[in-house]
């Protein structure tokens, strides 16, 4: 039917008879589409009623949601750095690539001297136990932004035994000296008091 209408569309500009045939075919197709849509909606309503009779609320909810939700169109334009709209697929892909490379190429401004820790020796007096540091590292929440040292929790947890040893040494050095490694200019740090056990 649609093929017939497509053929008649070419003829409609030639004469009045072609235009009349095109309009008749177009009306017939529109009526058929409207009837098919109404039949489909009736079938969906019947499915909803059947689901309700069978106490299948999950299917009922899904059918109602599918019928009443509006479809979200996919955005096919984005803006470049200057605010100009890009519509070509290659330009959009290039802009996404550029944006992601800018997003993930940043320079960390941490303090490298924080990592300078003397190696652990057996004759040190350790007021903080290794198990305490392991428990603290294990309890760090994932997905949080990095602190002043720009070290995310995931990196600390992925450091393994070497990270646990370094943190244990830093914590014990802090406990003995009463101050930790040098921090940034706007940050102040004071040792937290430990409860006697």
Do 140 and 153 form a contact (C-beta atoms < 8 A)? yes
pLDDT interval class at 141 (50, 70, 90):
confident
Q: Give the residue among 171, 174, 190 at the shortest CA–CA distance from 129.
A: 171
Can you give 37-73 as a three-state secondary structure string?
HHHHHHHHHHHHHHHHHCCCHHHHHHHHHHHHCCCCC
- For residue 177, pLDDT over 80 is answered with no
Position of tokens 């697929």? 89
Task: State the sign of the Cα–Cα–Cα–Cα dihedral 14, 18, 23, 25.
Answer: negative
- For residue 83, pLDDT over 80 is answered with yes
More confident residue, 56 or 180: 56
pLDDT score recorded for residue 72? 72
Local structure of residue 115 (DSSP, 8 states): G
* Domain chopping of the chain, boundaries: 2-68, 74-106, 112-177
pLDDT in tens, 93-121: 898 888 888 887 766 666 777 667 666 66
């Amino acid at each position: 039917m649609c093929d017939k209408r497509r053929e008649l569309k070419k003829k409609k500009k030639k004469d009045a008879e072609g235009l009349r045939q095109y309009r008749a075919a177009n009306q017939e197709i529109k009526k058929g589409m409207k009837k098919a849509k109404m039949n489909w909606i009736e079938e969906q309503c019947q499915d909803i009623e059947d689901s309700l009779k069978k106490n299948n609320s999950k299917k009922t909810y899904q059918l109602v949601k599918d019928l009443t939700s509006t479809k979200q169109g996919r955005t096919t334009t984005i803006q470049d750095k200057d605010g100009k709209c890009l519509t070509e697929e290659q330009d959009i892909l290039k802009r996404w690539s550029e944006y992601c490379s800018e997003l993930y190429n940043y320079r960390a401004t941490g303090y490298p001297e924080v990592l300078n820790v003397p190696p652990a020796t057996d004759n040190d007096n350790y007021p903080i136990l290794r198990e305490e540091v392991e428990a603290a590292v294990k309890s760090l929440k994932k997905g949080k932004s990095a602190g002043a040292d720009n070290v995310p929790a995931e990196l600390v947890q992925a450091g393994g035994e070497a990270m646990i040893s370094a943190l244990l040494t830093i914590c014990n050095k802090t406990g003995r000296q009463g101050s930790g490694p040098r921090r940034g200019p706007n940050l102040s740090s004071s040792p937290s008091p430990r409860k006697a056990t």
